Structure 1
Amino acid sequence: MTTPVLEANGLRKSWGGVAAVDGVSLAVQAGEMLALIGPNGAGKSTCFNMLNGQIRPEAGSVHLLGRNITGLAPRIVWRLGVGRTFQVTATFASMTVLDNVRMALLSHHRRLFGLWRPAAAQFVAEAAAALARVGLAEQAGRPCGVLAYGDLKRLELAIALANEPRLLLMDEPTAGMAPAERAGLMALTARIARDAGIAVLFTEHDMDVVFGHADRILVLDRGKLIAGGTPEQVRADARVRDVYLGQSGVH
């Protein structure tokens, strides 16, 4: 059996005596889009932060391609090949779109080669290719502060991919976007992930996005996984409809 890109077993974390995550286990394969959904307070963000190293679990383990990364600092997890996007985008607003990606590439090359730096022309070429990959080639010279929000989300994806990650963690990737833009961003992400063999784990409140683009879905409620499977299996699960989707489900 192929080793999962990400495998977490029995993750637990409590806040003030209340279990935010209680025995969560999951695995994501290369090229797979796995959605982690649930109502507010279900434990999704805490789970993400344990996977990324921002929070150390009280119990359980996290493995990246078979390597134990439990409790490692986020900067180390990133260097091992984990990219992340956040619910609220964060870029250098006064810098150009191209230079934001060049900053990520500089860090990536230091990870690979230590203090060696490629020639400036190589950086520009790599950054331009990254922007073309997400449909932002024509925006390269614009300051980030003037971009539309949907373009900022695409730029954040380009920055995360500059690390050539094996795993991409996406926390509500379409939050704040116009409905017409959401499907486009997730279709782009899925295409890149499958072409490059990147495992993607994402949280999302837009159920059209989840059921339209996830290969599998896991459902959290009060820190515990209550269901998992294909979109069709999760849509038909009575407990999921009761605690999250509503009786009508998602069509």
Structure 2
Amino acid sequence: MIPLLQAEALVKSWGGVRAVDEVSFTLAPGEMLALIGPNGAGKSTCFNLLNGQLQPDSGRVRLLGQDVTGLRPRAIWRLGVGRTFQVTATFGSMSVLDNVRMALLSHHRRLFGLWRPADQLMTREAEVLLSRVGMADQAARPSGVLAYGELKRLELAMALSNHPRLLLMDEPTAGMAPSERVALMARTAGIARDAGIAVLFTEHDMDVVFTHADRVLVLDRGRLIAAGAPEAVRADPLVRRIYLGGLADA
């Protein structure tokens, strides 16, 4: 079976420092894969290589067997890859509903060229997406007045607008209260598994990681030092020493 996502020996250097150093892994449809590691380990750089924000010095990225290395982010989006960011990216002066409608407009242009769906159709699609992320009652509010947890949910709705096969989530619960973190990731896991969406996410909250990830990858100084089932990674002596510390014994 061809993996949905395949990273092959990815390398990215800044000066003499390898931020990503021969990183390889695969991701299957419907799988929740966590990428964890200390600050500066190379997680965001790895995400940016996968999504086209950065070009690798060497190595390949494949989506369902297709080589997408070097494609720009908009081209990768059009192939069915959604993305959320550490710092939320929404249109603050626009309503929650119109933020999602903008993302849907991009999706429909990808499918049908210059064709634009009827306003009623696109509005209904946006309402469905907002309901899926628990924001149906926030549709009319300007996104600029939303609390941070609400912005994270809005960004998720926007990322889902192109019916992605792959969802990249860079610290999806950063800045959120513990109860919001649990709720967001539980909702994301449910959506992903129902639709067969593969999810690669970075996260510092180990409760989130070990509750929702099917597998865990651990980066340190750009290199993968461990990969496997959550409990196996939690028990790995090297991971405990470098990253988990006393949390692994809790």
What TM bracket, shorter-length normalisation?
over 0.9
- 5 Å-filtered alignment, 1:73-92, equals 73-92=72-91
Gaps of 5+ in 2: none
| CA RMSD of superposed structures (Å) | 0.9
User: Aligned equivalents of 1:232 and 1:177: distance in 2?
Assistant: 25
Give the distance between the partners of 2:245 and 2:235, measured in 1 at CA. Answer: 11
The structure-2 alpha-carbon separation of the partners of 1:248 and 1:202, relative to structure 1 and needing over 3 Å to count, comes to closer
Report how far residue 247 of structure 1 moved. Answer: 4.0
Alpha-carbon distance in 2 for matches of 1:136, 1:40: 31
Q: What does the per-residue CA deviation read over 1:164-220, in whole Å, with 9 as the maximum and x for residues that have no partner?
A: 111000000000101111011001100000001100000011111111111100000
Matches of 2:145 and 2:239, distance apart in 1: 41
SS in 1 for 2:9: strand
Does 1:182 pair with 2:144? no
The residue identity in structure 2 corresponding to 1:82 is V
- Per the alignment, residue 10 of structure 1 pairs with 9
Instruction: Indicate the SS of the match to 2:23.
Output: strand
Give % identity: 73
Number of residue pairs aligned between Structure 1 and Structure 2: 250
Consecutive unaligned residues in structure 1, runs of 5 or more:
none
1:131-170 mapped onto 2 (5 Å cutoff): 131-170=130-169
Aligned to 1:227: 226
Alignment partners' CA distance in 1, 2:157 and 2:18: 35
Task: Calculate the TM-score normalised by the size of structure 2.
Answer: 0.98
Q: Secondary structure at the match of 1:14?
A: strand
Report if aligned partners of 1:228, 1:234 keep a CA contact under 8 Å in 2.
yes
| Superposed structure 1 runs of 4+ greater than 2 Å apart | none
| Cα distance between partner residues in 2 of 1:77 and 1:172 | 20
Written as runs of structure 1 = structure 2, the 5 A alignment for 1:1-251 is 2-249=1-248, 251=250
- Summarize the Cα distance change of 1:218–1:124 in structure 2 as closer, same or farther, 3 Å threshold: same
Contact 1:208 1:250 in 2 (8 A): no
1:110 is aligned with what amino acid?
Answer: R
